[in-house]
Amino acid sequence: MLLVVLFVSAVVLASPPTPAWSLRSPALILAVAGAAIALPLLTSALVTRRALYCFERYPADPGYGQGALSRGLTCTYFALAASQALLLLGTGWLDLCRRIPVVGTWVVLPDLIALAPFLATILLVWIITYPAERAVRQIALEMHLFRGKPIRPVWRLFEYLAFNLRHQVLFVMAPMLIILVARDMIDVFRVPLQRATRNVYAPDFLLGLATAVVAVVAPGFLRYIWITRRLPDSPLRARLEGLCRRLKLRCRDILVWHSGGMLVNAAVMGVLAPFRYVLITDGMLQQLDDRKIEAVFGHEAGHVKRHHILFFLLFALTSGCIVAVATARAPTLTTPASRQTLYLVVAAVLTVKWGYFFGLVSRSFERQADIFGVRTVALMEPPCALPCAVHGADPLARPSTDPSAQLAGGAGPGAARVADREILGGGRLCSGAAELFGDTLNQVAVLNGIPPEAPSWRHGSIASRSRALQRLARSPVAATRFERRLLIGKLVILAAAVAFSAWAAYEMKLWAAAATLLRWGRPAA
């Protein structure tokens, strides 16, 4: 759902020109808006009915119902994205909202009206799917009870809606609204900015700069939207802080992410250390032991240490640059048909880029974070009774990598740091650590009511990730080869971001605008 919200918000922010062949009649536009609401609702109703039927038909195997709900929600989100794309890009809906008397002169308000069908549809989809989601959570709570862990009542409808609204909508919409306000304020001063810089694209560049600033500082206020608090001083916090020191992971704080005990998960947000937070849900603190929490923490640390957030931003930057180049090139085309063709080509490129390559990149990053999580577990000296590329066939003969043991043996802190670097940066994976980490992944999936074999476009299935870790632990060559391929992929993303940024700067004549500003700010001779 997050990607759907991001996609729709980005379309409204970009304010694409209405195609010449689009619907112009207000009556027809309103009819399409109604259809854009009805299609996802019908899909979600069928999904809920199918999932509940599977739960009743196969009570001994809830995986049938969980799988049906997971696949059905994917279809619902696709229907939601497609219907909103048709409304926003195939009709004059945005123009119609901005021509409403009085409202059109307000900052952001026309865009909020344009988003109203989308937001209403999301709310209604959640209401329709709530019975199936409640059944999944009930099964997860039964698992908590079976394991002798504390449980809380399943979300009531209002609590479920409030949680989803904060985590699926406001998480994206809050920074997006700030960017929309910046865009509208910049539009007020568009002509003076263009005159000062002698560049027609200077306001667009300033908007891009404002977007980058919001992306960096957003975690500072998003932590309050998700309802978090500082992880209290405790042995677990001391261990996690010690792990941060060993991993050389810098973050602003470690937070408890409140979900009413319904969510067993963790997350990291923030590109720069002063605005970076690691979050652990209350459900995870209740349901997992400290060693497995450290394993999940290591996975989130892997996203930071392997710079995944930065590369996601570079991936998104490339899309912005493609749009900027198309916007700059469109006025040079002689006919409306050629301009519309350009926009269609750009839309097709971005669809393939985000529909296929983003999923591929995201799944690869998850695997790399899993590998880093395994290496983090290996720092903690887990029991390793398996044939292991790190410890050999005899676990009793393995050298200790525990810093305290090395210090006791007179090796000194330098040896401990060397051992940490060898574990974190080497090509080999500990089989015992891989087994413990894979067990943690499976346990997290079960506690969240997710079948381990359920596919995930962004993350891959839990079972496939566990099997991949075991395979890489048995084959150091395969682990090294995977890391090398991913490094090449990151270099491609970086090169594309640099190339398209330079191309966009050239098309928008930003170099000349920067030179003009420097001369403008220089005192006269």
Mind listing the pLDDT tens digit for each residue in 170-184?
A: 988 899 889 888 888
Instruction: State pLDDT tens for residues 57-80.
Output: 887 777 788 888 888 988 999 999
Pairwise CA distance, residues 434 & 450, whole Å:
21
Q: Read out DSSP for 234-281?
A: SHHHHHHHHHHHHHT---SEEEEE--TT----EEEE-SSGGG-EEEEE
SS3 332: helix
What is the total count of domains within the chain?
Answer: 2
Q: What pLDDT, on the 0 to 100 scale, is given for residue 46?
A: 95
User: Could you give the angle at the alpha carbon of 433 between the alpha carbons of 430 and 437, nearest 5°?
Assistant: 140
Pairwise CA distance, residues 48 & 397, whole Å:
55
Query: Which is nearest to 301 in space by CA: 242, 355, 250, 363?
Result: 250
User: Could you give the angle at the alpha carbon of 435 between the alpha carbons of 429 and 436, nearest 5°?
Assistant: 105
The total number of residues written for the chain in this structure: 525
Would residue 139 count as lying in a domain? yes
End residue of a domain, out of 154, 175, 204:
154
384 with 391: CB under 8 angstroms? yes
- Token pair of 180 as six digits: 């929309």
Would residue 483 count as lying in a domain? yes
Q: What pLDDT, on the 0 to 100 scale, is given for residue 332?
A: 82
Pairwise CA distance, residues 369 & 361, whole Å:
12
- Token pair of 419 as six digits: 């051992």
Would residue 213 count as lying in a domain? no
Would residue 421 count as lying in a domain? yes
Using alpha carbons, list the distances in angstroms from residue 151 to 133, 282, 318, 326, 439. Answer: 17, 11, 45, 54, 22
Positions of the chain with pLDDT under 70: 16-22, 103-105, 140-151, 382-387, 389-427, 511-525
Terminal Cα distance for the chain, rounded: 58
End residue of a domain, out of 128, 154, 180:
154
Q: What pLDDT, on the 0 to 100 scale, is given for residue 454?
A: 80
End residue of a domain, out of 116, 133, 154:
154
Query: Which is nearest to 110 in space by CA: 101, 121, 118, 119?
Result: 101
Burial readout 43-62 (b: 16 or more C-beta within 10 A, e: otherwise): bbeebbebbbebbeeeeeeb
Query: Which is nearest to 271 in space by CA: 226, 224, 228, 304?
Result: 304
Q: What pLDDT, on the 0 to 100 scale, is given for residue 360?
A: 93
In sign, the C-alpha dihedral spanning 509, 511, 513, 516 is negative
- Checking 510-514 for CB contacts under 8 A at 24+ apart, the result is 510/199, 510/201, 510/205, 512/198, 512/199, 513/197, 513/198, 513/199, 513/201, 513/202, 513/205
- Calculate the dihedral angle through the C-alpha atoms of 67, 72, 74, 80, rounding to the nearest 10 degrees: -170
Q: What pLDDT, on the 0 to 100 scale, is given for residue 100?
A: 81
Would residue 414 count as lying in a domain? yes
Would residue 241 count as lying in a domain? no
273 with 250: CB under 8 angstroms? yes
- Token pair of 114 as six digits: 């344009």
Would residue 335 count as lying in a domain? yes
Q: What pLDDT, on the 0 to 100 scale, is given for residue 147?
A: 61
Q: What pLDDT, on the 0 to 100 scale, is given for residue 37?
A: 93
Would residue 118 count as lying in a domain? yes
Its domain, for residue 33, covers 1-154
